[in-house]
């Protein structure tokens, strides 16, 4: 489902004016994102809500894991703060404007993956299987792809 402009405005999903108080919209209430990537993801989730019950339950399970395990939440937040904005860097490289500093940022981000994986693997709880399926396994594959390069 994709919300059109009228539905988006009528449901007060995003603030209409930049100087509106944060709590005046759903975005303002939910946005506790620490990274630009997180803010973009939240925006797309609000603009295109899920319809599949299974996917909704998975997302709720992940949120429940983060809410109930403050150590997991804090360690992930610390690791994710060190990850640069991949979207902006890749766009910059695609436009031919990338430089050595951008490559270094990507390299350092890839070096953070084992730390984030370790944090996720330490978690044990009722939704451990969901976290493994959604995050641990894909991150392991991603890291294995770069393990031979670096």
Residues of the chain with pLDDT > 70, as a percent, come to 98
pLDDT at position 150, please? Answer: 58
Mean pLDDT of 85-91: 91
Residues of the chain above pLDDT 90, percent:
57
Which region among 8-12, 35-39, 111-115 has the lowest average model confidence (pLDDT)? Answer: 8-12
Task: State mean pLDDT over 55-70.
Answer: 94
18 to 14, 38, 39, 50: CA distances (angstroms): 10, 19, 16, 27
Mean pLDDT for the stretch of residues 100-127: 92
Q: Is residue 139 classed exposed, middle or buried when 0-12, 13-18 and 19+ CB atoms within 10 A define those classes?
A: middle
Angle separating helix axes 53-68 and 70-81, nearest 10 degrees: 100
Residue 68, pLDDT > 90, answer: yes
- The pLDDT of residue 130 is above 70: yes
Q: What is the pLDDT of residue 149?
A: 62
Cα-based angle 8, 6, 24 (whole degrees, multiple of 5) = 45
Mean pLDDT of 112-122: 93
């Amino acid at each position: 489902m994709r919300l059109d402009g009228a539905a988006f405005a009528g449901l007060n999903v995003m603030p209409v004016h930049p100087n509106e108080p944060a709590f005046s919209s759903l975005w303002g209430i939910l946005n506790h994102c620490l990274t630009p990537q997180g803010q973009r993801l939240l925006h797309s989730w609000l603009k295109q809500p899920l319809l599949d019950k299974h996917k909704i339950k998975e997302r709720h399970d992940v949120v429940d894991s983060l809410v109930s395990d403050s150590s997991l939440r804090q360690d992930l937040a610390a690791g994710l703060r060190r990850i640069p904005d991949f979207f902006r860097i890749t766009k910059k490289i695609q436009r031919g404007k990338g430089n050595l500093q951008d490559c270094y940022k990507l390299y350092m981000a890839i070096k953070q993956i084992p730390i984030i994986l370790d944090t996720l693997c330490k978690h044990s709880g009722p939704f451990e299987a969901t976290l493994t399926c959604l995050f641990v396994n894909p991150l392991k594959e991603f890291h294995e792809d770069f393990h031979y390069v670096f």
